Amino acid sequence: MPTPAATASARSGIRVRPLTEHIGAEVENVDLSRPISQAEFEDINDALVTHSVLVFRDQDLPPAMHVDFSARFGRLVGHLVKRFSVEDYPEVTYISNVRNEKGEMIGADRAGMVWHSDMSYFPRPMLGSMLYGVECPPEGADTEFASMFAAHDALPASLHALLARSRGVHDYAWHYANYLSHRPPLTEDEKAKAPPVAHPALRTHPVSGRKAVYLSEGLTRTVEGMDEEAGRRLVVEVSQFATQPQFVYRHKWRPRDLVFWDNRSTMHRATEFDNRHRRLMRRTTVEGDVPF
Ligand code: OGA
Ligand code: MN
């Protein structure tokens, strides 16, 4: 199937150019270094719901404007680990392999290397995330995004029927112990902020009504009411099905890119790079609704 055609909005002047058949669009003719208009906000919000991942190239986005733009879409939630925040901006998190003069990691290092939807372990998980490239390695460190709408629509009937009555158990402490063992362990205080939570395995997008897969290999430990191991196998099977190449857009970062994704209809993961290169990214996350 071909990539859909680009469209231009008469009310805001914004151009939206789809990047693949199912997921991703580049948004052109908007400047995020100053507050956006109501028409721009509405067109960007519509494009997010339709395309799930929006790429804005060549943007000047100091932390104050990153916060200003993000907050148009909802309440901002900072990282559970407070030391990863940008100084004076608790809602902005560094995703980085850079160390400070004391040799400590300034941000979340090797964050999100396994498929996931951001902070799905909260009762109200994130509507969206905005990641901005400050320093990007010349190659590698791409971010992959998979359309959970397209994955849902392609589910075999028997698997669809099973998932329609299942709830995934999302568990940050389990994720951290399994995938983030290179970092200092979570404190008891941090663990207490994110007890495991169950969400429907298939969720309804609150704006468009489309159905999406909402299980991820990285953050969904198992399936509620199932044997732990069997539930885990089902999660991994669904996650692998849902992230096949035909559902994926792979973003190659350039400095000054802002990528805004809809966590209600996508999963994403970071990819490897040569760790001798500096990678410095800033992220905000916008709270969403209780999944249904
Ligand atoms: C994130 C994330 C991926 C990346 O910031 O939520 O998963 O490529 N990042 O840094
Ligand atoms: Mn993530």
Pocket-testing residue among 109, 113, 117, 129, ligand 1, by greatest number of atoms within 8 A of Cβ = 129
Q: What is the mean pLDDT of residues 82-87?
A: 93
Does residue 283 have its Cβ closer than 6 Å to ligand 1?
Answer: yes
Cα of 30 vs centre of ligand 1, distance in Å, is 24
Residue 69: per-residue pLDDT = 98
For residue 98, being part of any structural domain is answered with yes
Whether the CB-CB separation of 266 and 143 falls below 8 Å is answered with: no
Residue 80 has pLDDT above 90, yes or no: no
For residue 201, being part of any structural domain is answered with yes
For residue 17, being part of any structural domain is answered with no
β-sheet bridge partners, residue 261: 53, 129
Residue 95: per-residue pLDDT = 97
168-217 pLDDT tens trace: 999 999 999 999 988 889 999 999 999 999 999 999 999 999 999 999 99
For residue 245, being part of any structural domain is answered with yes
Atom number in ligand 1 closest to CA 268: 7
Residue 292 has pLDDT above 90, yes or no: yes
91-104 pLDDT tens trace: 999 999 999 999 99
Q: Which run of H or of E encompasses 270?
A: strand 266-270
Does residue 44 have its Cβ closer than 6 Å to ligand 1?
Answer: no
Domain that holds residue 227: 59-287
Residue 221 has pLDDT above 80, yes or no: yes
For residue 142, being part of any structural domain is answered with yes
Residue 7 has pLDDT above 90, yes or no: yes
For residue 105, being part of any structural domain is answered with yes
Mean pLDDT over each residue of the chain, to the nearest integer: 97
29-52 pLDDT tens trace: 999 999 999 999 999 999 999 999
Cα of 95 vs centre of ligand 2, distance in Å, is 10
For residue 137, being part of any structural domain is answered with yes
Number of domains in the chain: 1
Residue 245: per-residue pLDDT = 98
End-to-end CA distance of the chain: 31
Contacts of 172 (CB under 8 A, 6+ apart): 80, 121, 186, 191, 194, 219
For residue 40, being part of any structural domain is answered with no
What CATH number does residue 266 fall under?
3.60.130.10
Atom number in ligand 1 closest to CA 283: 5
Residue 1 has pLDDT above 80, yes or no: no
Q: Is the pTM of this model over 0.95?
A: yes
Residue 273: per-residue pLDDT = 97
